[in-house]
Structure 1
Amino acid sequence: MKKFLVIILICIGAYALITHAPDRFSINSLKSLLQFTKSGLSTSDQAIQNAFDNKLSDIQMGGSGKVIKILPDDNDGSRHQRFIIKLDSSQTLLIAHNIDLAPEIKNLRVGDHINFYGEYEWNAKGGVVHWTHHDPKNRHEGGWLNHGGKLYQ
Protein backbone atom coordinates (compact mmCIF):
# COMPACT_ATOMS: atom_id res chain seq x y z
CA MET A 1 0.00 0.00 0.00
CA LYS A 2 2.85 2.40 0.83
CA LYS A 3 4.45 1.81 -2.58
CA PHE A 4 1.14 2.56 -4.28
CA LEU A 5 0.83 5.82 -2.32
CA VAL A 6 4.41 6.76 -3.25
CA ILE A 7 3.66 6.16 -6.93
CA ILE A 8 0.54 8.33 -6.71
CA LEU A 9 2.52 11.14 -5.03
CA ILE A 10 5.22 10.92 -7.69
CA CYS A 11 2.62 11.18 -10.43
CA ILE A 12 1.01 14.21 -8.78
CA GLY A 13 4.40 15.89 -8.40
CA ALA A 14 5.36 15.15 -12.00
CA TYR A 15 2.01 16.49 -13.22
CA ALA A 16 2.52 19.69 -11.21
CA LEU A 17 5.98 20.15 -12.68
CA ILE A 18 4.80 19.59 -16.22
CA THR A 19 1.74 21.83 -15.99
CA HIS A 20 3.37 24.67 -14.02
CA ALA A 21 6.70 24.80 -15.81
CA PRO A 22 6.47 22.87 -19.10
CA ASP A 23 9.20 24.93 -20.75
CA ARG A 24 11.59 24.07 -17.92
CA PHE A 25 10.59 20.43 -17.43
CA SER A 26 13.15 17.77 -18.24
CA ILE A 27 13.66 14.09 -17.62
CA ASN A 28 16.29 15.11 -15.03
CA SER A 29 13.68 16.91 -12.96
CA LEU A 30 11.50 13.78 -12.96
CA LYS A 31 14.51 11.65 -11.96
CA SER A 32 15.19 14.06 -9.12
CA LEU A 33 11.58 13.75 -7.96
CA LEU A 34 11.85 9.95 -7.98
CA GLN A 35 14.96 9.99 -5.79
CA PHE A 36 13.00 10.71 -2.61
CA THR A 37 12.12 7.04 -2.33
CA LYS A 38 15.81 6.33 -1.71
CA SER A 39 16.67 9.48 0.26
CA GLY A 40 14.17 9.07 3.09
CA LEU A 41 13.10 12.72 2.71
CA SER A 42 9.48 13.77 2.83
CA THR A 43 7.74 14.30 -0.48
CA SER A 44 7.46 18.02 0.24
CA ASP A 45 11.19 18.35 0.97
CA GLN A 46 11.98 16.43 -2.20
CA ALA A 47 9.63 18.57 -4.30
CA ILE A 48 11.28 21.72 -2.96
CA GLN A 49 14.73 20.24 -3.56
CA ASN A 50 13.69 19.41 -7.12
CA ALA A 51 12.44 22.96 -7.71
CA PHE A 52 15.71 24.33 -6.33
CA ASP A 53 17.92 21.95 -8.35
CA ASN A 54 16.07 22.81 -11.57
CA LYS A 55 15.72 26.56 -10.85
CA LEU A 56 11.93 26.39 -11.02
CA SER A 57 9.62 29.15 -9.80
CA ASP A 58 5.94 29.99 -9.54
CA ILE A 59 5.07 26.60 -8.02
CA GLN A 60 2.50 26.15 -5.26
CA MET A 61 3.91 23.89 -2.58
CA GLY A 62 3.89 23.26 1.10
CA GLY A 63 6.04 21.73 3.75
CA SER A 64 7.43 22.31 7.20
CA GLY A 65 10.63 23.36 8.85
CA LYS A 66 12.36 24.83 11.85
CA VAL A 67 12.80 28.60 12.18
CA ILE A 68 16.54 29.33 12.19
CA LYS A 69 16.56 33.11 11.76
CA ILE A 70 14.05 35.92 12.15
CA LEU A 71 14.71 38.86 9.85
CA PRO A 72 13.43 42.42 10.14
CA ASP A 73 10.08 43.03 8.48
CA ASP A 74 10.25 44.31 4.91
CA ASN A 75 8.29 47.56 4.98
CA ASP A 76 8.85 48.64 1.37
CA GLY A 77 5.51 48.44 -0.44
CA SER A 78 3.41 45.66 1.05
CA ARG A 79 4.76 44.78 4.49
CA HIS A 80 6.18 41.27 4.92
CA GLN A 81 7.18 39.33 8.00
CA ARG A 82 10.38 37.51 7.01
CA PHE A 83 12.14 34.52 8.52
CA ILE A 84 14.31 31.63 7.40
CA ILE A 85 13.41 28.01 7.98
CA LYS A 86 15.46 24.88 7.61
CA LEU A 87 13.84 21.76 6.18
CA ASP A 88 14.69 18.21 7.27
CA SER A 89 16.71 18.01 4.05
CA SER A 90 18.89 20.89 5.40
CA GLN A 91 17.72 23.19 2.60
CA THR A 92 16.81 26.68 3.78
CA LEU A 93 13.86 28.79 2.65
CA LEU A 94 13.01 32.42 3.18
CA ILE A 95 9.36 32.82 4.16
CA ALA A 96 7.95 36.22 3.13
CA HIS A 97 4.51 36.54 4.74
CA ASN A 98 2.40 39.55 3.70
CA ILE A 99 1.22 41.14 6.94
CA ASP A 100 -0.94 43.69 5.14
CA LEU A 101 -3.20 40.82 4.02
CA ALA A 102 -2.76 38.28 6.82
CA PRO A 103 -2.05 38.40 10.55
CA GLU A 104 1.54 38.57 11.71
CA ILE A 105 2.87 35.69 13.81
CA LYS A 106 3.56 37.68 16.98
CA ASN A 107 5.18 34.96 19.07
CA LEU A 108 7.50 33.46 16.42
CA ARG A 109 10.86 32.36 17.85
CA VAL A 110 14.04 30.71 16.57
CA GLY A 111 13.63 26.96 17.04
CA ASP A 112 9.87 26.99 16.42
CA HIS A 113 8.33 24.55 13.96
CA ILE A 114 6.22 25.99 11.14
CA ASN A 115 4.07 24.48 8.40
CA PHE A 116 3.60 26.47 5.23
CA TYR A 117 1.82 26.55 1.90
CA GLY A 118 2.55 29.18 -0.72
CA GLU A 119 4.31 29.95 -3.96
CA TYR A 120 7.95 28.89 -4.31
CA GLU A 121 10.38 31.18 -6.13
CA TRP A 122 13.90 29.99 -6.87
CA ASN A 123 16.98 31.83 -5.64
CA ALA A 124 20.56 30.70 -5.09
CA LYS A 125 20.12 30.53 -1.30
CA GLY A 126 17.39 27.88 -1.36
CA GLY A 127 14.32 29.79 -2.45
CA VAL A 128 11.55 32.03 -1.20
CA VAL A 129 8.00 31.08 -0.30
CA HIS A 130 5.47 33.89 -0.56
CA TRP A 131 1.70 34.12 -1.14
CA THR A 132 1.26 32.59 2.32
CA HIS A 133 -2.06 34.43 2.59
CA HIS A 134 -5.43 34.69 0.90
CA ASP A 135 -5.86 36.70 -2.31
CA PRO A 136 -8.56 39.33 -1.74
CA LYS A 137 -9.21 39.45 -5.52
CA ASN A 138 -9.38 35.63 -5.84
CA ARG A 139 -6.92 35.64 -8.76
CA HIS A 140 -4.21 33.58 -7.07
CA GLU A 141 -4.38 30.41 -5.04
CA GLY A 142 -4.30 31.27 -1.36
CA GLY A 143 -1.62 30.07 1.00
CA TRP A 144 -1.14 29.87 4.76
CA LEU A 145 1.24 29.42 7.65
CA ASN A 146 0.55 27.21 10.66
CA HIS A 147 2.40 27.99 13.86
CA GLY A 148 1.53 26.46 17.20
CA GLY A 149 -1.74 25.08 15.85
CA LYS A 150 -2.93 28.50 14.66
CA LEU A 151 -3.54 29.17 10.96
CA TYR A 152 -2.34 32.48 9.48
CA GLN A 153 -3.87 33.23 6.10
Structure 2
Amino acid sequence: MANKTNMGIGAVIALLVAAYLGLDLSESKQQSNNFAPAAEVVVQEQAKVQQPATADDTYRIEQAYQQRQSDLQVQASGQVVAVLKDDNEGSRHQKFILELSNGQTVLVAHNIDLAPRIGNIQKGDQVEFYGEYEYSDKGGVIHWTHHDPSRKHVDGWLKHQGRMYQ
Protein backbone atom coordinates (compact mmCIF):
# COMPACT_ATOMS: atom_id res chain seq x y z
CA MET A 1 0.00 0.00 0.00
CA ALA A 2 2.91 2.33 0.70
CA ASN A 3 4.06 1.85 -2.89
CA LYS A 4 0.64 2.85 -4.22
CA THR A 5 0.62 5.92 -1.98
CA ASN A 6 4.14 6.88 -3.07
CA MET A 7 3.17 6.37 -6.71
CA GLY A 8 0.05 8.48 -6.18
CA ILE A 9 2.06 11.26 -4.55
CA GLY A 10 4.65 10.99 -7.33
CA ALA A 11 1.91 11.21 -9.97
CA VAL A 12 0.41 14.28 -8.29
CA ILE A 13 3.84 15.93 -8.13
CA ALA A 14 4.51 15.04 -11.77
CA LEU A 15 1.10 16.42 -12.71
CA LEU A 16 1.75 19.64 -10.80
CA VAL A 17 5.20 20.03 -12.39
CA ALA A 18 3.74 19.35 -15.84
CA ALA A 19 0.94 21.83 -15.21
CA TYR A 20 3.44 24.42 -14.00
CA LEU A 21 5.73 23.91 -16.98
CA GLY A 22 2.76 23.89 -19.33
CA LEU A 23 1.61 27.26 -18.00
CA ASP A 24 5.18 28.54 -18.13
CA LEU A 25 5.51 27.44 -21.76
CA SER A 26 2.32 29.23 -22.74
CA GLU A 27 3.51 32.36 -20.92
CA SER A 28 6.89 32.21 -22.64
CA LYS A 29 5.13 31.88 -26.01
CA GLN A 30 3.13 35.01 -25.22
CA GLN A 31 6.26 36.76 -24.00
CA SER A 32 8.23 35.73 -27.07
CA ASN A 33 5.45 37.14 -29.24
CA ASN A 34 5.61 40.35 -27.22
CA PHE A 35 9.39 40.48 -27.56
CA ALA A 36 9.43 40.34 -31.36
CA PRO A 37 8.44 44.00 -31.75
CA ALA A 38 10.71 44.88 -28.83
CA ALA A 39 13.63 43.36 -30.72
CA GLU A 40 12.78 45.62 -33.64
CA VAL A 41 12.70 48.58 -31.24
CA VAL A 42 16.15 47.61 -29.95
CA VAL A 43 17.47 47.50 -33.52
CA GLN A 44 15.89 50.89 -34.19
CA GLU A 45 17.38 52.27 -30.97
CA GLN A 46 20.80 50.91 -31.98
CA ALA A 47 20.39 52.61 -35.35
CA LYS A 48 19.73 55.88 -33.53
CA VAL A 49 22.86 55.41 -31.44
CA GLN A 50 24.92 54.79 -34.58
CA GLN A 51 23.31 57.72 -36.40
CA PRO A 52 25.67 60.43 -35.09
CA ALA A 53 28.22 59.30 -37.68
CA THR A 54 25.92 60.87 -40.27
CA ALA A 55 24.14 63.42 -38.07
CA ASP A 56 23.45 66.85 -39.50
CA ASP A 57 22.83 69.64 -37.03
CA THR A 58 22.78 72.36 -39.70
CA TYR A 59 19.25 73.37 -38.70
CA ARG A 60 20.24 73.51 -35.00
CA ILE A 61 23.20 75.73 -35.92
CA GLU A 62 20.90 78.01 -37.92
CA GLN A 63 18.47 78.23 -34.99
CA ALA A 64 21.32 78.92 -32.54
CA TYR A 65 22.56 81.73 -34.78
CA GLN A 66 19.10 83.30 -35.06
CA GLN A 67 18.59 83.06 -31.29
CA ARG A 68 22.18 84.11 -30.46
CA GLN A 69 22.83 80.90 -28.54
CA SER A 70 26.20 79.43 -27.65
CA ASP A 71 27.66 76.32 -26.04
CA LEU A 72 25.80 73.94 -28.35
CA GLN A 73 27.44 70.61 -29.22
CA VAL A 74 26.84 70.03 -32.95
CA GLN A 75 27.79 67.79 -35.84
CA ALA A 76 27.50 68.80 -39.48
CA SER A 77 29.61 69.32 -42.58
CA GLY A 78 30.38 72.10 -44.95
CA GLN A 79 32.48 73.23 -47.87
CA VAL A 80 35.67 75.19 -47.25
CA VAL A 81 35.21 78.71 -48.63
CA ALA A 82 38.37 80.22 -47.11
CA VAL A 83 41.55 78.97 -45.44
CA LEU A 84 42.82 81.57 -42.97
CA LYS A 85 46.16 82.14 -41.26
CA ASP A 86 46.74 80.15 -38.09
CA ASP A 87 46.06 81.97 -34.84
CA ASN A 88 49.30 81.66 -32.87
CA GLU A 89 48.27 83.79 -29.89
CA GLY A 90 47.96 81.57 -26.80
CA SER A 91 46.79 78.12 -27.85
CA ARG A 92 47.44 77.73 -31.56
CA HIS A 93 44.41 77.26 -33.82
CA GLN A 94 44.07 76.33 -37.47
CA LYS A 95 41.27 78.47 -38.91
CA PHE A 96 39.05 78.11 -41.94
CA ILE A 97 35.53 79.07 -42.95
CA LEU A 98 32.92 76.49 -43.91
CA GLU A 99 29.70 77.11 -45.78
CA LEU A 100 26.97 74.80 -44.52
CA SER A 101 24.30 73.27 -46.75
CA ASN A 102 21.87 76.07 -45.80
CA GLY A 103 24.31 78.79 -46.92
CA GLN A 104 25.34 79.85 -43.41
CA THR A 105 29.06 80.23 -42.83
CA VAL A 106 30.95 79.29 -39.68
CA LEU A 107 34.52 79.80 -38.63
CA VAL A 108 36.25 76.60 -37.53
CA ALA A 109 38.95 77.20 -34.90
CA HIS A 110 40.78 73.86 -34.53
CA ASN A 111 43.27 73.67 -31.63
CA ILE A 112 46.51 72.39 -33.17
CA ASP A 113 48.26 72.22 -29.80
CA LEU A 114 45.91 69.36 -28.87
CA ALA A 115 45.11 67.79 -32.25
CA PRO A 116 46.88 67.39 -35.59
CA ARG A 117 46.34 70.11 -38.15
CA ILE A 118 44.73 69.32 -41.49
CA GLY A 119 47.79 69.61 -43.71
CA ASN A 120 46.29 69.69 -47.17
CA ILE A 121 43.02 71.58 -46.66
CA GLN A 122 41.94 73.69 -49.64
CA LYS A 123 39.08 75.87 -50.73
CA GLY A 124 36.28 73.64 -52.05
CA ASP A 125 37.07 70.70 -49.74
CA GLN A 126 34.31 69.07 -47.72
CA VAL A 127 34.88 68.91 -43.94
CA GLU A 128 32.68 67.17 -41.40
CA PHE A 129 32.90 68.36 -37.80
CA TYR A 130 31.77 67.61 -34.28
CA GLY A 131 32.38 70.49 -31.90
CA GLU A 132 30.88 73.30 -29.91
CA TYR A 133 29.00 76.14 -31.60
CA GLU A 134 29.52 79.68 -30.29
CA TYR A 135 27.44 82.57 -31.59
CA SER A 136 29.11 85.41 -33.49
CA ASP A 137 27.52 88.05 -35.69
CA LYS A 138 29.32 86.55 -38.71
CA GLY A 139 27.62 83.15 -38.46
CA GLY A 140 29.31 81.50 -35.52
CA VAL A 141 32.43 79.67 -34.47
CA ILE A 142 32.96 75.93 -34.17
CA HIS A 143 35.62 75.01 -31.63
CA TRP A 144 36.43 72.09 -29.31
CA THR A 145 37.09 69.99 -32.43
CA HIS A 146 39.71 68.00 -30.52
CA HIS A 147 40.00 65.67 -27.54
CA ASP A 148 40.05 67.18 -24.06
CA PRO A 149 43.08 65.91 -22.15
CA SER A 150 41.47 66.90 -18.82
CA ARG A 151 38.26 65.04 -19.76
CA LYS A 152 36.01 67.90 -18.62
CA HIS A 153 34.54 68.58 -22.07
CA VAL A 154 33.06 66.36 -24.76
CA ASP A 155 35.71 65.29 -27.28
CA GLY A 156 35.26 66.77 -30.74
CA TRP A 157 36.78 66.04 -34.14
CA LEU A 158 37.16 67.05 -37.77
CA LYS A 159 36.93 64.67 -40.72
CA HIS A 160 38.62 65.56 -43.99
CA GLN A 161 39.10 63.19 -46.93
CA GLY A 162 38.23 60.21 -44.74
CA ARG A 163 40.77 61.03 -42.02
CA MET A 164 39.79 61.97 -38.46
CA TYR A 165 41.57 64.79 -36.65
CA GLN A 166 41.04 64.90 -32.89
Tell me if TM exceeds 0.5. yes
Residue 151 of structure 2 aligns to a residue whose secondary structure is: coil
Distance 1:140 1:46 in 2: 23
For 2:159, which of 140, 146, 150 is the aligned residue?
Answer: 146
Paired position in structure 2 for 1:93: 106
Q: Which amino acid aligns with 1:128?
A: V
- Give CA deviations for 1:35-72 in whole Å, capped at 9, x if unaligned: xxxxxxx9511111000000000110010000000000
Name whichever structure is richer in helix by fraction. 2
Q: Is the 8 A contact 2:111 2:144 kept in 1?
A: yes
Q: Give me the whole-angstrom Cα distance separating, in 1, the residues matched to 2:131 and 2:82.
A: 19
Structure ID, larger Rg: 2
Q: Deviations over 1:111-153 (max 9, x none)?
A: 0000000010000000000000000000000100000000000
1:111 maps to which of 115, 124, 129: 124
Alpha-carbon separation, structure 2, partners of 1:113 and 1:43: 14
Structure 1 spans left out of the alignment, 5+ residues: 10-41
TM-score by length of 2: 0.67
Task: Give the paired residue count.
Answer: 114
Partner-residue secondary structure (3-state), 2:84: strand
Q: What CA distance in whole angstroms lies between the structure 2 residues aligned with 1:43 and 1:114?
A: 12
2:68 to 48, 55, 58: 55
Please tell me the root mean square deviation across aligned C-alpha atoms, in Å.
1.5
Match of 2:94 in 1: 81
Deviation readout 1:78-122 (Å, 9 max, x if unpaired): 000000000110000000000000000000000000000001000
Q: Which runs of at least 4 in structure 1 moved beyond 6 Å after TM superposition?
A: none
Secondary structure of the residue that 1:46 maps to in structure 2? helix
TM-score, structure 1 as length reference: 0.72
Aligned counterparts of 1:80 and 1:63: Cα–Cα separation in 2: 20
Identical amino acids, percent of aligned pairs: 53
Larger strand fraction of residues? 1
- Assess if the C-alpha contact under 8 Å between 2:80 and 2:98 holds in 1: yes
Unmatched tracts of structure 2, length 5 or more: 1-43, 49-54
